Amino acid sequence: MIRIGIPVRFIDGRYVVNANYIEALVKAHSEPVIIVPQHDLESLIPTLNGVLIPGGFDVDPKFYHDADLYCGPLHLETDQLDLALIKASLKANLEIFGICRGQQIINVALGGTLIQDIPTQVETQLDHNTSQVHGTLTKGHLIQVYPNSRLASLCPSEIEVNSYHHQAIKKLAEGLSVSALAEDGVIEAIEGHKIFAVQWHPERMISDPIFQGLFDDFITRCSL
C-alpha cells in the first residue's frame, strides 16, 4: 500500500486533519499517515511514498523575509512542521502534493514569496474567497491551464475551481513553474521536480472524476 504523510493543523488545542483529504487519499488506494510535530521525520520519511501538504492558516511572513501587514491567524508550530517536512521530503526524493496553503508554503520553502492579501495588494475584481463566503464546495472561478504542463494532462485547458484563499504566490521560487492562472493573473497551480500543487481545494470536489484524478495521479507517481 502506498503510504502518504499528511501533517496536522492545530485548531483550538487539537491536532486536526480534515476528513476530505483522508477520503480522497483512500479513494486513490493509498494509506494516509498522520504526522504530528513530535514525529521524528528522519525515521518517518523512509516509511512514506509521498507527502500531501494541506490547507490551513497563513504562513508567517518572517519565513519569506517580509513584515506581517495583512495576515490572519498564524501558527509557528504548523509552519515549522510543514517546512521541515517539505525539505525532508525533497531530500528523500518523495512526491509532494500541495493544496491551498500547501502550495504557498512549498513556494516559501524553496525561496519564493507570497502576496499577503489579494484584495489589498492585487488590482482585481475576482473574489478569491468566494467559495468560503457563499458556502459552496464547487463554485468559484475559472482558471486557465498551461499547455504541456502536468496539470494539462489531467484537466481541460479552462476549468472552474473552488476558491478559499486571500493569499497567493508572489515571487515564484526557483525550480518551480506555473501551470495555471486565474483570469487576474493570480497563480493557481505550480509544478516542479517531484512537486505538484494547486491553490484550490480538489479534495472538496472528488465527486467529479477530474478532481479525484489529481489524487489518483499523485498516488500513481508515488508508486513509480
Report the SS3 class of residue 206.
coil
pLDDT, residue 135, reads: 81
- Of residues 71, 100, 155, 222, which has the active-site annotation? 100
DSSP secondary structure of 159-203: EEE----S-EESSPPTTEEEEEEETTS-EEEEEETTEEEESS-GG
**What pLDDT digit, counting tens, does each position of 98-134 carry?**
999 999 999 999 999 999 999 999 999 999 998 988 8
pLDDT band at 164 (very low <50, low <70, confident <90, very high): very high
What is the average pLDDT across 156-184?
97
Supply the pLDDT for residue 104.
Answer: 98
Give DSSP secondary structure letters for 75-131: -HHHHHHHHHHHHHHHHTT-EEEEETHHHHHHHHHTT--EES-HHHHS--S--TTHH
What's the pLDDT tens digit per position in 174-214? Answer: 999 999 999 999 999 999 999 999 999 999 999 999 999 99
pLDDT band at 30 (very low <50, low <70, confident <90, very high): very high
Q: How many separate domains does the chain show?
A: 1
Known catalytic membership, residue 75: no
Average predicted confidence (pLDDT) for the chain: 97
In which element (H, E) is residue 132 found? helix 130-134
**Catalytic annotation, pick one of 95, 188, 191, 203:** 203
Is residue 201 flagged as an active site residue? Answer: yes
Is 100 part of the annotated catalytic residue set? yes
Q: How confident is the model at residue 57 (pLDDT cuts 50, 70, 90)?
A: very high
Range of the domain at 148: 2-222
Model confidence pLDDT, tens digit, residues 126-147: 999 989 888 877 779 999 999 9
Indicate which CATH number applies to the domain containing 116.
3.40.50.880
